[in-house]
Amino acid sequence: MLDDSSPVPHDPAQPQATPYRWHEHRSLDTWTWACAVALAADLRRELARRPRARLLLSGGTTPAPVYRALARAPLDWARVDIALVDERWLLPNDPDANAWLVRQHLLRDNAAAARFESLTQPGRTLEEAVAFANAHARQSAVAAVLGMGEDGHTASLFPGLPALDRVLASKQPYVAIDASGAPGAGQWSKRISVTPAGLAYAQARFLLIQGTAKRETFRQAVASGDVKRWPVLIGMEGDVGLDVHWCP
Ligand SMILES: O=C(O)[C@H](O)[C@@H](O)[C@H](O)[C@H](O)COP(=O)(O)O
C-alpha cells in the first residue's frame, strides 16, 4: 500500500543519530489506509501475545481520517487502552480538546469498545492530571502516533519554551507545559505533554504529516539535528526509529 518507502536523502556529512523511514503516499486516501493498516497490525500482534494492548495518540487535526479508518479494524478492542501523548488544558468534551478528537474519530464503530484514558477530568487539577498520566505511563505501548506543527513542535513540546531543556531531560513520562508565547500553541498555553522518557515506552513511533510545508519542516529538522529547535526530533531518540507517513 505504500507508494514509496525510501528514506529522504540527507547529507552524509550530517550525522544522523537515529533512523527514520519516510513513507510517501500519493493521496490522502492511501496515506489514511496505510497508516490505519500499520497501526491495526501492531495492535493485532500485541493482542495475540498479551492480554491488553496500549496505544498513545496525538490530537491536532491531521490524524482524524486515520483514526476513523482504524476504528473499523476488526480487533478485540475491549482489550485496547488508548492514551494521549498530549492534551490542552480543556475538559474532554471541549471540541478543541485532543480527547474530543479521539472520541469523535476513533472511539466509534468497532473501536467503541476500547478503554480511553482522558488526561483531564472535571475537578482534576493540572498537577493531578500530570500525576494521573505518570501513574499510567510506565507500561509498554505498541505505538505512539505523533503530529507535527510547521514550527517543528510535536506533542506539546514547542521550540523556544524556556523550560524545554528541563522537559527534554525529565525522567517523568509526562509534564505540565506552559507554552505562553509559543505561536504554535495557539490559544492553549496550558498543556500536558509526553516527554522523551515517556515516548521510550512506545515500541513504534509514527509521525503523520501532510503538505509541502510540513515536509520541508521535517527536512530542516533532520538536517539540523537540534532537538531544542525542532522538538519533533524526539521521535527519533532511542533505537526504535520513526515511521514518517507523508502525503501532499
Ligand atoms: O495538542 C496539539 O496541538 C497536538 O497534539 C499537536 O502536537 C499536534 O499534533 C500538532 O500541532 C499538529 O496539529 P495538526 O494536525 O492540527 O496540524
Ligand 1 geometric centre to CA of 11 (Å): 28
What CATH number corresponds to the domain at position 226?
Answer: 3.40.50.1360
Asked if 185 contacts 158 with a C-beta cutoff of 8 angstroms, the reply is yes
202: number of Cβ within 10 Å: 23
Q: Per-residue DSSP letters for 68-107? A: HHHTTS-S-GGGEEEEESEEESS-TTSTTSHHHHHHHHTS
pLDDT at position 19:
84
Separation CA 161–CA 154 (nearest Å): 13
Ligand 1 geometric centre to CA of 86 (Å): 9
Quote the pTM value.
0.92
Residue 99 falls inside a structural domain: yes
Residues present in the chain in total: 248
**Residue whose CA is at the smallest distance from ligand 1 atom 5:** 59
Quote the number of domains for the chain. Answer: 1
Provide the residue-wise pLDDT of the chain in tens; the chain has 248 residues: 334 444 344 444 444 555 899 999 999 999 999 999 999 999 999 999 999 999 999 999 999 999 999 999 999 999 999 999 999 999 999 999 999 999 999 999 999 999 999 999 999 999 999 999 999 999 999 999 999 999 999 999 999 999 999 999 999 999 999 999 999 999 999 999 999 999 999 999 999 999 999 999 999 999 999 999 999 999 999 889 999 999 99
- Grid cell for residue 240: 526504535
Structural domain containing residue 234 = 20-247
Residue 1 falls inside a structural domain: no
Angstrom distances, CA of residue 231 to CA of 45, 135, 142, 181: 30, 24, 22, 16
Ligand 1 geometric centre to CA of 150 (Å): 10
Residue 6 falls inside a structural domain: no
